[in-house]
Amino acid sequence: MADSALAAASSQISAAQTDTPQIKAFFDEPTFTVTYVVHDPESRHAAIIDSVLDYDPASGRTSFSSANALVAFVEEKGLAIDWHLETHAHADHLSAAPYLKEKLGGQIAIGEQIITVQQAFGKLFNAGTDFERNGSDFDHLWKDGDHFRIGNLDVTVLHVPGHTPACIAYVIGDAVFVGDTMFMPDYGTARADFPGGDARTLYQSAMRLLSLPPETRLFMCHDYLPEGRKDYVWETTVEAERQANVHIHDGVSEDEFVAMREARDKTLAMPRLILPSVQVNMRAGHFPPAEDNGVTYLKIPVNAV
């Protein structure tokens, strides 16, 4: 079957010598998450990808030092934020998109399959009817092959499910923000055991990304600092992944990958912040409505995950 979204992404990357985004990464060590501010140097229009709201699960307190560092950078550079782009509903950190939207403007967007994720988590958390589960908490939903611009930068959206059903990668100029599909070559790939996750689907999504031109720059959403490495890193290339990704380098078959991924997933503990994260991120980063005493609560489903 012809893959027209992928063909469009490939030609966009090859044509992007004059369409190169400026990329600033912010690493959040408590959750190992990389947030990116991506801008067009000519127009200074920009997007923020996968922002982090600081959250202390012991006290239930939110704080804003990670988000405020983004605000300071955006203001210092004089950028106009068009978008707060999520690669997926994260299970390991809370999104700061609503806070950043209030400070900087811009629209919050995610993949259209978020509706599937909202239905699963809405049920798990027994959310009230105020939670609509139709994607309307977000300002915009993307589908595979969608094209838009950030200033003069071309952006193509690729649906890359497997880690979650709604995962998308953003191809911006010649750079790809892969979300949680692959990690750095020495760490491998994302887990596929969350609700709606699937190792076989993840393999196919990774193969799609790995069929982009070899020189394509790939930007990770996390780095977990594998043994033997001292510094966090988050940028690699299609070629480097194909040669050396410990889970999915050239020559690894789909069946081999699925067997490895499913066996490894059985050994992984749930992310530290999964319960607060999904309750908030399924609502585009908004907390559930406050109760009649004015206090906002998050739920813990007992023996249900």
Of 169, 190, 248, 282, which one interacts with ligand GSH (CB under 6 A)? 190
- When the beta carbons of 29 and 76 are compared against ligand GSH, the nearer one is 29
Site membership for ligand GSH, residue 195 (CB under 6 A): no
CB of 12 to ligand GSH, least distance (A): 27
CA triple 78-80-82, angle to 5 deg: 160
> Considering only residues 79-118, where is the footprint of Fe ion by CB under 5 A?
none
CB within 8 Å of 219: residues ≥ 6 apart? 23, 25, 34, 36, 175, 176, 177, 178, 234, 235
- When the beta carbons of 95 and 245 are compared against Fe ion, the nearer one is 95
**91 DSSP 8-state letter:** S
Residue by residue, DSSP assigns 230-246 as -S---EEEHHHHHHH-T
Pick the piece of the chain touching ligand GSH (CB under 6 A) from 19-27, 56-64, 101-109, 265-273: 265-273
CA-CA distance, 40 to 47, in Å (whole number)? 9
CA-CA distance, 279 to 283, in Å (whole number)? 7
**Can you tell me whether residue 32 is helix, strand or coil?**
coil
Pick the piece of the chain touching ligand GSH (CB under 6 A) from 53-61, 141-149, 254-262, 264-272: 264-272
- When the beta carbons of 115 and 160 are compared against Fe ion, the nearer one is 160
**Can you tell me whether residue 29 is helix, strand or coil?**
coil
Helices 254-265 and 199-210: angle between axes, nearest 10 degrees: 130
Could you say which of ligand GSH, Fe ion, none residue 297 binds, taking C-beta under 5 to 8 angstroms by partner kind?
none
Give 55's strand partners.
62
CB of 280 to Fe ion, least distance (A): 14
Site membership for ligand GSH, residue 191 (CB under 6 A): yes
Task: Write the binding mask 50 to 89 for ligand GSH: x where contact by CB under 6 A, - elsewhere.
Answer: ----------------------------------------
The count of chain residues that interact with ligand GSH, using the rule CB under 6 A, is 11
Site membership for ligand GSH, residue 92 (CB under 6 A): yes
- CA torsion, points 10, 16, 17, 23, in degrees to nearest 10? -110
Of 1, 2, 58, 268, which one interacts with ligand GSH (CB under 6 A)? 268
Residue 162 backbone class (left: φ over 0; alpha: ψ -120 to 50; beta: rest): left
> Considering only residues 158-197, where is the footprint of Fe ion by CB under 5 A?
180
> Considering only residues 126-185, where is the footprint of ligand GSH by CB under 6 A?
180
φ/ψ of 10, rounded to 5, equals -65, -45
CA-CA distance, 74 to 238, in Å (whole number)? 29
- When the beta carbons of 12 and 51 are compared against Fe ion, the nearer one is 51
> Considering only residues 23-52, where is the footprint of ligand GSH by CB under 6 A?
31
CB of 80 to ligand GSH, least distance (A): 30
Interface residue list for Fe ion (CB under 5 A): 180
Interface residue list for ligand GSH (CB under 6 A): 31, 91-92, 180, 190-191, 222, 224, 268, 271-272
